[in-house]
Structure 1
Amino acid sequence: MSTMFRMCLLLIFISPALAVLCNPADKKALLQLKQDLNNPYLLASWDPPDSDCCYWDTVTCDRKTHRIISLTISDNVVPLSNFSAQIPPSIANLPYLQSLEFHKLPNLTGPLQPAIARLTQLTFLRISWTNISGPVPSFLAHLKNLTYLDLSFNNLSGTIPSFLSQMPYLGTLHLDRNHLTGSIPESFGYFKGSSPGFYLSHNNLSGHIPKSLNNLNLTFIDLSRNNLEGDASMLFGSNKTVLTVDLSRNHRLAFNLSNMVFPSSLTSLDLNHNKVYGGLPQELTELNLEYLNVSYNSLCGEIPVGGKLQSFDIYSYLHNKCLCGSPLPPCA
C-alpha cells in the first residue's frame, strides 16, 4: 500500500472530526450575546477563531442538526465578579433553544426580556437567584411547550398571573422567594394538561387557598411564609398522591386536623406557626413520614402512638393549646 494511499485513508477517517458542526448563525448569535453581557469570564471559551461553538462551555448542540438547544449561564463554578447586565434581546437569535438558564447572577437586573417569548421551543426555563424585577410577564404565555418554569429567588413583584394555568405541559412552577402579592389564582385549579408542583413560598400572598385546587393531584406544594388564611383541607384526600406539603408560617391558616384524610404517599408535612386546631388523627401513624412539624398551632389531645410519630423530637409538637403524650410530657 502506497504512502499516498495511506494518507488519503487517514484523511477520510479524521475529516469528520475536523468538520465544524456549529451553525454559523448560532455562532454569530452567541458572540453577540457575549458582547451584550459585557464579555464575562465564564464565556471565555466563546472564542471565534476557527473554533466550533458546539464545544464551547455552557452550550449544548443537537447531535443531528447541530443547532444550539441548551444554554446555561451560571456562576456555580466561576464567580462572575465582572458580570453586570440585563438579559439582552439577542437571546432571541437562538431559536432552537429548548433549555435556557440564568442562575446565581446577582448583578443580572431589569425586567424579564420580552424577546424570550420568541423562543417557542423552550421546555425548560430557569432565571433564578438574580436581581431581575418587575411583574411575571404575560409574554410567558407564548411558551406553550414549557414543562419547567423557575423564576425563584428574584425581585419580582405584582400578582401571580392566571394565564400560567393555560400552559398545557407545565409540570413544575417555582415562583418562590420573590415579592409577589395578591391571592393564588382560582384558575390554578384548572391546569390544562398537568397538575404541577407549586412552589410559591416566601412571598406576600394573601387571601384563601382556592378551593379549586381540590381538582389537582399535586406532588409538591410549598405555600409557606405567606399571609394565607382559612382552610387548606382541599390539598389532602385519600385520592391524592402528594409527597410534600409545606404550609408553615402563614399564621392564619385555620382548619380542623382531626378528621383530615391524608394520602398514603405523604412523606413530609409542615404546618407550623398557623391556627390549625383539633387533634392529630390516628391515621398519621400509618404514613411513612420523614418529616413532621405541627408546632405553634392550637392542637389538643394525645399524640397517637405508633408509626413514626414518636421518632420526631419535641420541637415538632411544641407550643400547641393542649397537645400531650410522647415525645411531649404525658397527658394528665
Structure 2
Amino acid sequence: MDGSSPPDVGYYCRQFQSTLPHNNFISQYFPHLRGLNLAYNHFNGSTISSAIAKLTDLTRLNLSHTGFSGEIPSEFSHLKKLVSLDLSFNQVAFVRDEDYSNVLSNATNLSELWLQEVNMSNIKPSSFSNLSRSMKHLDVSDCGLTGNVPSSICNLTSLTSLDLSHNSFSGEFPHTVSNLVQLETLHIQVNSFSGSFPLTIPSSIFNLPNLQWLGCSDNQLVGPIPSEIVHSSLHSVYLNNNFLNGTIPSWLLALPSMEILGLSYNQLTGEIPSYICYLASLLVIDLSNNNLSGSIPECLFNLAELSVLNLRNNNFHGPIPSSMFGNMSKLTHVDLNGNKLGGSLPAQSLATCKMLEVLDVGNNNVDDVFPQWLSNLPSLKVLILGSNSFHGAVTTSNSFSMLQILDLSNNYFNGSLPAGLFHKFPAMKMLKDKSEEVGTEYYIGLTVKGKECVVNKFPSVFTTLDMSNNYFRGEIPDAIGELGSLLFLNLSHNNFVGPIPSSLGNMRELESLDLSSNRLSRKIPSQLTSLTYLSFLNLSRNSLVGPIPQGNQFGTFDAASYAGNEGLCGVPLSKKCGGDDEDGDHDQDSEPELESGGELFSWGFAGAGYGCGLVIGISTAYIMFSTRKPEWLVEIVENWTWRG
C-alpha cells in the first residue's frame, strides 16, 4: 500500500506471486480506491478478476507485466472514471469487438491507454472511433491489428504519443494526420505499408509542428524522402529497412536539434552531404547498407556528441580521414565494414576515443600494420580488421584489457605467434557466469562452425578469436590454452607446424575449433575430448597421424572434420588402426614443403570459406522504445540489429 496516500486513494502492490486474495478483497476493504497498480507481479496463468470492475471510482489501473492471461472482462466497461489504463505485456485479449468498444466508449475521460502485446486480432481498427477525444497517449503496438489505419485516429487531436508499430497495417496512412498538431512521438514501424512514400506516409507527418520522434522503419516504403520540410522540432528519425531512394534530404540542415538519424537498409545514393557536419547535437548516424559513395567527410570531427557512426556496406572510397575522430571523445561504436576505404588507420585521432567499444573496418582496402596502439583504449571490446591488407607481425606490449572479439582474418599478417601475445587478452581468459544478466548487447554476424550465421546477442560471455587466412608460421603456443572463455577459435589457412597444443583441452567453453589447412603434425591430443561444448571441429588438410580420440563430443564429428590427413585412422574414418605406422610421432622434418610464396591454399578458397567473417551490425533499424522509457541510449544499445 502507498503509505503516503489514504487507502481510498491508491493501492500499490509488488508482493503477490501467484494469485490475488479472494475476488472481493480489494473492493470490500477499499471501495473508493482511485488508483490500483499491480504491475510486475507474477500472476502467471491467472485471469483478470472481474471484481476489479467493482472499483467504480478507479481513475488509474496498471496491470502490466503481471502474467495475466485469458479474456479482458467485459465488466471493465463499468470503470467509467478511468483516466489511465495499462494492460500491456500480458497474454490477455479483447475477444469480442463489442467488449473493446464498450470499455473504451464508457471511459469518456481516458487519456492514457497502454495495450502493447494485448491480443486484438479480432478487433476492427474502426473501433478506435470510440476513444476519448482527450486521449494523449495511445499504444496498441504488437497487438495483431490488420487492415488500414482508421482515419478516426486523426480526430484524437490531443494525442502527444501514438504507437501503432509491430502490427500488420497496410495501405495508406491517413492524410488527416496533419490534425495531430500536439503529436510529439509517432511509432508506425514494422507494418506493411506500401506504395510510394508520399502516398503511404504523407509528407505532412514531417511538418507536424511538435513532432520530435518519428519511427517509420521496416515498412515497404519506396521513392524519395519528401524534400520539403518546414518545421524544426524533429530530433529523431528512423526510416530504416525500406526501399527509399534518392539522396539524403537537405532539410536536415534545418534541424539543429537532430540527435538520431537512421536511414539504413535503403537504396540511397550520392555522397554524405557536408551539412550533416553542422548538426552538432547528433548522437547516432546510421547510413549503413545503402548505395552511398564518395569519400567520408573529414568535417565529421565537428560532431563532438556523436556516440555511434555506422557507414557499413556502402561504396565509400579513399582514405579514412586522418583527423576525423579527433573531437569525438564520446564515440562508442564505429562501423566502416564493407566499403572501399584505403590508407592506414588514423592512429592519432582514434587514440582519443577512450570510450570506444566497437571498431569494425573489415572488408576494405586498409593497408597498415597491426594497430597495437589500440590497446590504450580501455573500453574496446570488439576489433574487426578482417579482409584488408594488414601485414607484418602481431605483437603488443600492452594488454587489450576488455577485448572479447578479435578478427584478423584474410590479411597478410605473418611471423610466429609469441606466447606472450595471449597474455594480453585478459577478457578472453576470465570465465563468466552464462546466466548473468547482460546490460550490453550487439547483433553480430559470424562465420563459425563452418557456415555463415547470425548471433542474435553479444553478451558479456561472448568471446572469439579469428586469425585465419594469413601467413602465420611456427608452432601454436601452449599459452593459447589460457584463453579459457573462448567460444570460437579459428586459426585455419596458415602455415602452423608441429603438434596441436594439448592445452586446448583447457578451453572448456569452446564451441567451434578450426585448425584446418595448416601443416600440423603428430597425434590429435586426447585432451580435446574434454571440450564437452564443442559442436564444430575442422582439422582437415594437415599432416596429423594416429588414432582419432574417442569420447564425448568426438563421437559427433564426421569424416570431413579429418579429411586430408592421410596418417589418421579410426572412427569416423574408414581406415582402421593397428599398424606400426599409425602410432608414431612424426617430427617436423617430415612435414610437407611450403609451396611457392609460402602458400598452402588458394585465396579463392579462402574467400569462400570466410563468408561474412566477424562483423558487427549496429543498424538502428529496430531502435524502438516507449515514451514512458526515456533511457533512449540504453534502448539503442539493447536493440541493435542487422540483416544480411
Q: TM-score, normalised by structure 2?
A: 0.41
| Residue identity in the other structure for 1:48 | N
Please state how far the C-alpha of 1:107 moved relative to its aligned partner: 3.7
Q: Does 1:94 align with 2:180?
A: yes
The residue aligned with 1:213 is 300
Q: 1:115 to 1:238 in 2, by over 3 A?
A: closer
Aligned Cα root-mean-square deviation (Å): 3.4
Residues 242-270 of structure 1: CA deviation (Å, up to 9, x unaligned): 110000011x1012127444211111000
Q: 1 or 2 for the larger relative contact order (CA 8 Å, sep ≥6)?
A: 1
Structure 2 CA distance for partners of 1:21 and 1:247, relative to 1, 3 Å = same
Name the counterpart of 1:146. 234
Could you tell me which of 188, 197, 209 is aligned with 1:120? 209
Aligned residue in 1 for 2:383:
292
Give me the identity figure in percent.
29
Within the alignment, does 1:228 sit opposite 2:320 as a pair?
no
Q: In 1, Cα distance between the equivalents of 2:188 and 2:131?
A: 26
User: Judging changes above 3 Å, is the alpha-carbon distance between structure 1 residues 126 and 56 closer, same or farther for their aligned structure 2 residues?
Assistant: closer
Q: State the shift of 1:14 in Å.
A: 3.8
The structural deviation recorded for 1:56 is: 5.6
Q: Which runs of 4+ in 1 moved over 6 A?
A: 49-52
Q: 1:220: how far off?
A: 0.4
**Structure 1 letter corresponding to 2:171:** A
Give the match for residue 278 of structure 1: 368
Q: Deviations over 1:271-326 (max 9, x none)?
A: 00001111133321122211111000011122333433895566x00111235545
Report the 3-state secondary structure (helix = DSSP H, G, I; strand = E; otherwise coil) of the residue aligned with 1:269: strand
- Which amino acid is 2:368 matched to? G
Which runs of 5 or more residues in structure 2 are unaligned?
1-31, 35-55, 60-80, 83-106, 112-120, 142-156, 422-464, 475-494, 496-644
Q: Which secondary structure does the structure 1 equivalent of 2:241 belong to?
A: coil
1:317 partnered with 2:403 = no
Paired position in structure 2 for 1:159: 247
SS class of match (1:189): helix
Stretches of structure 1 that go unaligned for 5 or more consecutive residues are 1-9, 24-38, 60-65
How many pairs are equivalent?
A: 294
Residue 15 and residue 201 in structure 1: after superposition, are their counterparts in 2 closer, same or farther (change >3 A)?
Answer: closer
Residues 372 and 395, structure 2, Cα contact 8 Å, conserved in 1:
yes
Contact 2:137–2:159 (Cα < 8 Å) also in 1: no
2-structure distance, mates of 1:87, 1:303: 56
User: Secondary structure at the residue paired with 1:303?
Assistant: coil
Q: TM-score, normalised by structure 1?
A: 0.77
Q: Does 1:195 align with 2:282?
A: yes
d(CA) in 1 for partners of 2:243 and 2:184? Answer: 25
Report the counterpart of residue 399 of structure 2 in structure 1. Answer: 307
Q: Which amino acid aligns with 1:286?
A: N
CA distance in 2 between counterparts of 1:254 and 1:46 reads: 55
User: Residue 41 and residue 159 in structure 1: after superposition, are their counterparts in 2 closer, same or farther (change >3 A)?
Assistant: farther
**Equivalent AA in structure 1 for residue 263 of structure 2:** L
Measured in 1, the distance between the counterparts of 2:473 and 2:294 equals 38
Per-residue deviation, residues 58-81 of structure 1 (Å, max 9, x unmatched):
39xxxxxx9210111122xxx52x
- Structure 1 residue matching 2:216: 3-state secondary structure: strand
Residue in structure 1 matched with residue 357 of structure 2 by the alignment: 267
Among 103, 117, 128, the alignment partner of 1:46 is 128
Structure having the larger proportion of residues in strand: 1
Return the letter of the residue paired with 2:376. Answer: E
Instruction: Output one character per residue of 1:66-106: Cα deviation in whole Å (capped at 9) or x when no partner.
Output: 9210111122xxx52xx321122111111110001111113
Which sits farther off after the overlay, 99-108 or 224-233?
99-108
Q: Which residue of 1 aligns with 2:140?
A: 58
Q: Secondary structure at the match of 2:160?
A: strand
Q: Within 2, Cα distance between the matches of 1:172 and 1:284?
A: 27
Distance (whole Å) between structure 2 residues aligned to residue 106 and residue 50 of structure 1? 27
Q: What letter is aligned with 2:219? A: T
